[in-house]
A and B are shown apart, each in its own frame.
Chain A
Amino acid sequence: NAGVTQTPKFRILKIGQSMTLQCTQDMNHNYMYWYRQDPGMGLKLIYYSVGAGITDKGEVPNGYNVSRSTTEDFPLRLELAAPSQTSVYFCASGNTGTSYEQYFGPGTRLTVT
């Protein structure tokens, strides 16, 4: 099992550009999450999904969109990048049927200039 994978690892965007951060898990988890981690700070939940076709907002959803068309994939879309979105983005997945544990991907480091 690869676990949770994220692409790209690094990205530099100009203000106003758009991009999609990819997240895929091969553990058949029903729950998936997107967090952002600003330097020296904790993780803030952006969006989450409890299953294919179902998404909901977390603590800091503004400026982002998500979709969940399959169990495996949970992409995060930035439409108009702003410097405030410079952060490290972590995707995570979990299966509430057996455990609350969340498994994190390696992260995407995004810089908006």
Chain B
Amino acid sequence: GENVEQHPSTLSVQEGDSAVIKCTYSDSASNYFPWYKQELGKRPQLIIDIRSNVGEKKDQRIAVTLNKTAKHFSLHITETQPEDSAVYFCAAIGGATNKLIFGTGTLLAVQP
């Protein structure tokens, strides 16, 4: 089955800097890659997603890139702000069952 690895597990950046979180997946049939943000004590919220027929997608300060050959995808946050501090999860999905397999999460701390 699908396996998703996520790095780093923790990331501390200064306000205004960029943050990059990387994930790899194992199932070449996976075709959808969402990123979720989870604030302390809250539910995961979808922040951006990408499908396998697209190499890059951007939404304001957030972008996701996908390298299907290497089975890598990454989340890029530019001009980080303190409110970006949270745990970020990548995930991969594929096949007929739509089972999301999550990475282990990255705790992002943006220092003011």
Contact = CB atoms under 8 A, between A and B. Distances in A.
Interface in A99-113: 100-102, 104-107
A41 B105 contact: yes
Given A41-B105, A42-B103, A42-B105, A106 B43 contact: yes
Contacts of A107: 43
A50 to B, nearest CB: 7
A96 B44 contact: no
A58 B89 contact: no
Category for how many chain B residues contact A: 20 to 34
Given A43-B89, A105-B43, A106-B43, A94 B98 contact: yes
Contacts of A42: 6, 89, 102-105
A44 B6 CA distance: 15
Category for how many chain A residues contact B: 20 to 34
A100 B43 contact: no
B102 A100 contact: no
Interface string B4-26: 00100000000000000000000
In order of increasing CB-CB distance, the 6 nearest A-B pairs are A104-B43, A42-B102, A100-B32, A42-B104, A43-B102, A42-B105
A89 to B, nearest CB: 11
Contacts of A100: 32, 34, 49, 93, 98
Given A31-B98, A45-B101, 15 more contacts: A33-B100, A40-B105, A42-B102, A42-B103, A42-B105, A43-B44, A43-B89, A48-B98, A48-B99, A56-B97, A94-B98, A100-B49, A102-B34, A104-B43, A107-B43
